[in-house]
Structure 1
């Protein structure tokens, strides 16, 4: 007892000596003596720390002894941090606060190189002292002590400010790796402090019990809640600043990046439980989400621009991963915060959508470039799922009303385009312009909804929505089902159409095994729609929308959309229940009959043909009884039967009894037609009520049955009917020569059907009438093309099939033969065709003929001026030797095109084709317009010339309109009146669009 009293007296005398000494060296020695000699009793600890606080030198250090004094004070105080601090916690906090403030102030002043090392040690000691103090603070209870809570807030604020300043001054020689590590420990300890508070407190009770009805405080709970909110908010703000700084550090501050943003996410998640939104009022959560999204967006733009402009060699996947990993990190943290604070995130739906669309568009851009395909795979694996989760965090949030979530879909998937996008749409070089990333990276949120540059990205994003629809709520599935038309409306654009048909995209492999495979974009779109249909089938309202979508688009004006819808109908037929299948077929047959009565047209893209094609596809997956029922229900309507036969009716799926009835009916009808006065039918139609393409339906029925339904010619064409068909064909050739213009079309159509019957019936080539028919055709084509012969293009495709089958015929090869020269003449006509479709047909026909014929001098069948013998550069010089080399190149290219990955040349052709098809879709009569023809119904040069002459007056008027528009534009450009220019501007723009449309219509 006496020893303890003596020790206290000695300690007290040392403290008094410290306080009375003005010499820094003496103070340092005395303070060091305390730390080395005396065992401090907890009851005396507060007195000692008060002494150390008093001795702390607040002025900035311009001498080594001042630095040494403060360092000694911290070293001594640090030795007692593990003691019971319950009676002196405030003193330790005050000392740590003073040390942090002094360190910040000292950092801002110039440093003497002689003391820089000592100062670094002092800063390291301050950080360690602060970390240990925070740890001790987390174990203590300060509930109800208002003064202590204010001291804690001040301590946290100053320590974090010092930590920030240290990290911001990383370029200074003062900062070593130990200081950086210590700074990270401070940040981590601050986050753990908030976590400890949350685990030891009940937030809801704190908020609910914070006040009486009169607003007076019940206890210290409200102050404690406010205290925690203040500390948490302060820490979040500091971490936020550090997170931004570390993101701009060029990748050298990865540890700080992780600690800062992960700490923010953790604290915000804890703050979610801080009832009544107290933390969200203190911290701007929206700014944090926006910053993360902006960091991801800007990093994406920088990567895309760098790769599109400088990288020419194959980019390694490791390099792409290094680039995308920070972006994924930003997105993951944005997802986590958005899940906790959806009401804050929904206000940023445009920025979030821009980021998600940018990722989809960048993926499409990368997949087009062979040297960037590895980067495309990494993007799909690393970024696409995370970005999609970010969007779904809003679309699937239970905290947001449906109107807010549907607004996001409306903004993402709108059919509107601005004027610049419409002009761009007319540019056939659009896909080439996107070979650089400039068009994508320069977009902002305001221009995104109406700009066409991101159409491909929207398609990919919509596809991902469809694939992931099983994870969405029923109301969002219904909302997506109402946007299905957007997908088809987008696919008809020229560049999207070409990409859909010609591009492969990387896709994550299904199942637990990770990996990326390359699939055609078209297949992915169809598969995603099928997935959505399965999900929508359990939602009555959504399925009604899907079914309506399928019925409305079954006669879509664009063939690609019809292909998609037909495939979806087939999918339904393969997997739907019997009742649904019957309902669908009944509805389609009713629609089929209605269209047949309202629009009786058999042109390739007519509504009747489209519905017939869909029915045939659906019947392919139907049982025999269903196929029999559908066919017998329309057996009395010859037009509908022909339409079904033209589209490949599944004849083999009929029962044997119905097959016999079908064959008997079409054969009998053909006999009746050929035996009747068919010339009169051709001239006048059926009492003048039928259109040209409805003449000779029995002949078209047999032709279609043999060509598309895989019906054997031996089953239908016997010797008698075959002979009648040959005579009928001869009569048509005779009639064609002298027929007037309006009737030539009908003759040509019937000739095409008859030639297809002959070409598929091998035994007819042994008939004596065959030689006569060949000579008649020689006479017909020997006349040469004229304005009256424009209908020849109607049956030239069938004529190519007819010539291809001549190999089954014995053709005399001697000098006295008239048949061989006639066949040569006909092949000369075919091989001279310049149209690409006829070139394909001519080569195919000649190849088949050459493989089967007995003729030994095949070179005679190739004219000197064959299409393939022309010089492709000049287009004028023909060379006989060039034919075989061009033929080989043509065949090699055909083989190469079997590869699903298309080159720039093929994609360019698809873009041009897509632009033409897009314009056709806009025409009022595009559904039944005969200008949108198949390969077999193209027009030759004569047809084009004839149409041009008919449009001479229209073209002249359009030229005058263009001249007038130019004159007005020049006049306005020279005028000084700004008000006049502004008044005329919208009308000039509209007039320009109208004239441009008229130009496209006139060809």
Structure 2
């Protein structure tokens, strides 16, 4: 064997010289002789390994050294031979066959040696550090360990070499790595002390990473063609092979594998990110499907090998989860701007990243989100303690949804998932948004019967009023899911608490503020009702209204209606009586309108029946036919009251009534055929056109747009000089001149509805020369009538067609950035606690206002000055708008700030008046 080791060393040196001389047209006879010698030496090695299995394990130190040296040099020769197998093409197949024989013989030798070792004694000796057996047995045992160690290390090197050779050494690749796994299973885990388990796992991960990196480089080329499922499968199968062997080693040695958990989990995140980027390219859709089918199950198995291991300490599992999902992200993170668009969309950059890139940029963030959702879906297979830690990370998931990059992917991207039907498994595409909801719902079900629920429930409660739109929608849907499927007692308990919170936040001023705590709670309740049962809707109605109609219950009831509480969800008997009551109270209010002033309403909401009917008409829960035209007469009366009142608070009340009455009229089609409609339109013309400086009327324009759209049902004269036509024309001119994007959208929608139904032939008369849609978008200083009609056509076509996917993701990125900034500005706690703080402050104000204490005279004088100043600013705002000396954004900021100031002054005035 000593000569065999020297022969192997000589052959390695001569092999290099032979390879170098091959390119210089060396003699074929020399090459053939050398290759034959190489084959003979490998055959001798195979026979020697087989012979050793028939003899006792060597206990002589010199013999032990010879055997170990012989094995080491033969494996070095095999590795070099495999590297140059393509050069030795004539003997390539024979060489490969002989190498397989040598490796088989060596693995058989290791198994025989292992069977003759008392591994329990060896482990006890290594653990205690003392010898409890004879010296000879110690030497032989150490010899076996060294033989297995050398074999594992060299098989690993052979596997790496075969892997780098590509498809020409598939059989050697399979044999070498399966041999590594087989040998590591020997010794009952005792080999962990001698063999570098972590390095072996990293070798497999590196091979898998290289395969995917090569594919990513090729698929990132602009000249790429459509990648077929078969081609993608050919690339991903070797990756799966490496990962399967890694799983087996990790499962056997989880403690040693944990030392490199960052590299392992980083690779899993890379795979998940790569899959998402493949979905984003139409030419690579089949590759993403192949990835889901081939790599996803194995990736999850690797993660579960850590999380479900009984040998791994719980703290280690928690550390792994903290590293993957423990860094804050979203509006309060600093890294979110560090990654460029090209970096985030670069597939080949993914596999060049290291563990430091996991948290320093967001290029890998989609993969982290995907892995987390996968864990949520598979939570039933995870230990309860780990589930609890995952539940603590739900806030991390919400934070990622705030990021504009993730926000755009969640709403726009569809990813492949495996759908298991009764007959076969098939791949279907669904939005990430749906996948996220499904994963969270699955986790709720899994965690409901474990300690994880102690963290899931607070998570749901604290995020009910999340400041970010997407997060709020997800949380609301989870609550709806709970109300649909939870036990009746649990649902009733939820409703009771929400109704108590609604009552706690109910006071008159808040019902008109969409962002008030009252309206937020009412909005949330309405969402729950929309997915709940009939009995749930009845319970909410009875809890809010009950047998009395106190001021508090009326405020709560009105808030629910204004947030879309549909009466159709009530039981038939209750539904009929409630609808009838709303209509009756509306007409009763109209009959007594002239006899009652707003200040006589006390602590209730003046005109509540009008707001209630407007709300239910918009939700289509009620339909009325006003044959006596009371609504039109009421509308005219409100206009007169508004014009005749000098009190700023009364004018604000009448302005709200005007807005809601315009909405009511727009929903009652038969009113447009009335002869009284002309008088109404003329009154509106006089109000809006003659008072352009009245900033309060600015808030009526959305409702006026709805009213103006309904004029398409009227028979209008084609004569341009009639009073009716002049009034309609001037009102449309005013609406279409609006520059604010929201008002412009409403005005164009109304005009489009009107144009599609009116009998007028000269629609151009209703379009002002300076209509907002007539200006070019680049400079905004050149109006063109033809541009208006062209843009109107495009707008109307967009209303009836689905939007293009080309600009969807970029547009969502912009939208997500704005939402993130909005959420970032709301840095105060966003949950039940924050809302309770807000409602508590409001409640204190409300209760203090009812103490009827006399205020100092200076406060009353100050209130008058504030109201006068507000009126002056409102009048000047119109001048700012008409002069257009500044940008539209400046005007919008003034409108928003003055509107907020008005709300504050109105609230203060209400307190002063009641005191």
Instruction: Classify the TM-score, shorter chain.
Output: 0.7 to 0.9
Deviations 1:638-693 (A, max 9, x none): 222122212322312323443355345544654565566799976x6966x89xxx
Verify: 1:346 aligned to 2:251, yes or no: no
Alpha-carbon spacing, 1:782–1:211, altered in 2? closer, same or farther (3 Å): closer
Q: Distance in 2 between matches of 1:608 and 1:291?
A: 60
Superposition deviation, residue 740 in structure 1: 7.6
Structure 1 residues 363 and 601, CA, compared in 2 at 3 Å: closer, same or farther? farther
2-side partners of 1:356 and 1:257: how far apart? Answer: 22
Q: After superposition, where does 1:518-917 map in structure 2 within 5 Å?
A: 518-539=429-450, 541-596=451-506, 600-635=510-545, 636=549, 637-663=553-579, 665-667=581-583, 669-670=585-586, 674=590, 696-708=607-619, 710-714=620-624, 718-719=626-627, 723-724=630-631, 726-728=633-635, 730-732=637-639, 735=642, 746-783=653-690, 785-786=692-693, 788-789=694-695, 791-814=696-719, 817-897=722-802, 902-903=805-806, 905-917=807-819
Q: Which residue of 1 aligns with 2:905?
A: none
Q: 1:342 to 1:685 in 2, by over 3 A?
A: farther
CA contact (8 A) 2:769 2:783 kept: yes
In structure 1, C-alpha distance between the alignment counterparts of 2:356 and 2:368, rounded to whole Å: 16
Q: 1:289 matched to which residue of 2?
A: 201
Range moving further from structure 2, 111-120 or 550-559: 111-120
Deviations 1:591-646 (A, max 9, x none): 33333369935433444333323322323344433322221111141222122212
Aligned partners of 1:346, 1:620: CA distance in 2, in Å? 48
Give the distance between the partners of 1:679 and 1:304, measured in 2 at CA.
78
Residue aligning to 1:130: 45
Match of 1:191 among 92, 97, 107: 107
**Any stretches of 5+ residues in structure 2 without a counterpart?**
839-876, 882-887, 898-915
Flag the 1:618–1:236 CA change in 2: closer, same or farther, 3 A. Answer: same
Q: Is the 8 A contact 2:403 2:817 kept in 1?
A: yes
- If asked which structure has higher relative contact order (CA below 8 Å, sep 6+), I would say 2
**Equivalent of 2:302, from 390, 393, 402?**
390
Give the deviation of 1:562 after TM superposition: 1.9
Aligned twin of 1:165? 80
Q: What is aligned with 1:116? A: 31
The answer to whether residue 17 in structure 2 is matched with residue 103 in structure 1 is no
TM-score (norm 1): 0.75
Q: Would the aligned equivalents of 2:642 and 2:655 in 1 still touch at CA under 8 Å?
A: no
Q: Which one of the candidate residues 382, 396, 407 is aligned to 2:319?
A: 407
Q: CA deviation at 1:525?
A: 0.9
Instruction: Return 756-765 or 366-375, whichever deviates more.
Output: 366-375
Choose which of 405, 415, 440 in structure 2 pairs with 1:505.
Answer: 415
Moved more, 822-831 or 143-152: 143-152
Shift of 1:707: 1.0
Alignment partners' CA distance in 2, 1:813 and 1:442 = 72
Write the distance in 2 (CA, Å) between the matches of 1:150 and 1:724: 107
Structure possessing the higher radius of gyration over alpha carbons = 1
User: Is the 2:125–2:131 Cα contact (8 Å) retained in structure 1?
Assistant: no
Structure 1 pair 376–780 and aligned structure 2 pair: CA distance change class (3 A): farther
* Residues in 2 aligned to 1:120 and 1:674: alpha-carbon distance in whole angstroms: 108
Q: Distance in 2 between matches of 1:865 and 1:173?
A: 83
CA shift, 1:115, in A, is: 3.2
Q: Would the aligned equivalents of 1:726 and 1:770 in 2 still touch at CA under 8 Å?
A: no
Choose which of 218, 227, 233 in structure 1 pairs with 2:143. Answer: 227
Q: 5 Å matches for 1:232-311?
A: 232-271=148-187, 273-274=188-189, 277=190, 279-311=191-223
What displacement does 1:771 show? 1.6
Answer with 852-861 or 283-292: which moved more.
852-861
Query: 8 Å contact 2:345–2:363 — kept in the other structure?
Result: no
1:506-546 Cα offsets, whole Å, 9 max, x none, are 2223347344222111111111111111111221x222322
CA drift of 1:821 comes to 3.0
CA shift for structure 1 position 134 = 2.3
| 1:362, distance to aligned residue in structure 2 (A) | 2.0
User: For the structure 1 residues 109 and 368, does the alpha-carbon distance in structure 2 shift closer, same or farther, using more than 3 Å as the test?
Assistant: closer
Q: Distance in 2 between matches of 1:263 and 1:897?
A: 57
**Alpha-carbon distance change, 477 to 839 in structure 1, aligned in 2, over 3 angstroms:** same
Deviation at 1:566, TM superposition (A): 1.7
Q: Deviations over 1:201-232 (max 9, x none)?
A: 66436656999998352586544432321111
1:645/1:704 contact within 8 Å kept: yes
Cα distance, 1:235 vs structure 2: 0.7
CA contact (8 A) 2:117 2:141 kept: no
- Cα separation, 2, equivalents of 1:194 and 1:304: 40
Q: Are the aligned partners of 2:159 and 2:176 in contact in 1 as well (CA < 8 Å)?
A: yes
The Cα of 1:894 is off from its aligned counterpart by: 4.3
Q: Could you tell me how far apart the structure 2 residues matched to 1:577 and 1:839 are?
A: 47
Which of 385, 396, 415 matches 1:475?
385
Q: In 2, distance between residues paired with 1:623 and 1:421?
A: 41
Distance 2:361 2:233 in 1: 30
Contact 1:417 1:449 in 2 (8 A): no
Number of equivalences: 831
Within 1, Cα distance between the matches of 2:218 and 2:66? 51
SS in 1 for 2:420: coil
Residues 823 and 405 of structure 1: is their aligned pair in 2 closer, same or farther, counting only changes over 3 Å?
A: same
- Separation in 2 of the partners of 1:360 and 1:212? 44
Alignment partner of 1:516: what SS? strand
Query: Structure 1's 745 and 288: CA in aligned 2 closer, same or farther, altered over 3 A?
Result: farther
CA distance in 2, matches of 1:415, 1:685: 57
Q: How does 1:412-431 map to 2 (within 5 A)?
A: 412-416=324-328, 422=334, 425=337, 431=341
2:346 to 436, 454, 460: 436
Give the whole-Å Cα distance in 1 for the aligned partners of 2:419 and 2:326. Answer: 30
CA distance in 2, matches of 1:330, 1:870: 62
Distance in 2, matches of 1:949 and 1:822, equals 29
Unaligned runs of 5+ in 1: 1-92, 930-938, 953-1003
Instruction: Tell me the distance in 1 between the aligned counterparts of 2:509 and 2:326.
Output: 32
Q: Go from structure 1 to structure 2 and tell me whether the alpha carbon gap of 1:362 and 1:738 turns closer, same or farther (over 3 Å shift).
A: farther
**Maintained 8 Å contact 2:635/2:680:** no
Contact 2:331 2:403 in 1 (8 A): no
- CA distance in 2 between partners of 1:744 and 1:298 (Å): 73
Residues 327-356 of structure 1 show CA distances to partners (whole Å, capped at 9, x for unaligned) of 333322222211111111212222122212
Assess, with a 3 A threshold, how the Cα gap between structure 1 residues 660 and 884 changes in structure 2: closer, same or farther: same
TM-score by length of 2: 0.81
- Give the aligned partner of residue 38 of structure 1: none
The residue number in structure 2 matching 1:981 is: none
The DSSP-based 3-state class of the residue aligned with 2:428 is strand
Cα RMSD (Å): 3.8
The answer on 1:176 being equivalent to 2:78 is no
Q: 1:466 and 1:666 mapped to 2: Cα distance?
A: 46
Distance 1:886 1:851 in 2: 16
Distance of 1:211 and 1:143 partners within structure 2: 24
Distance 1:161 1:881 in 2: 82
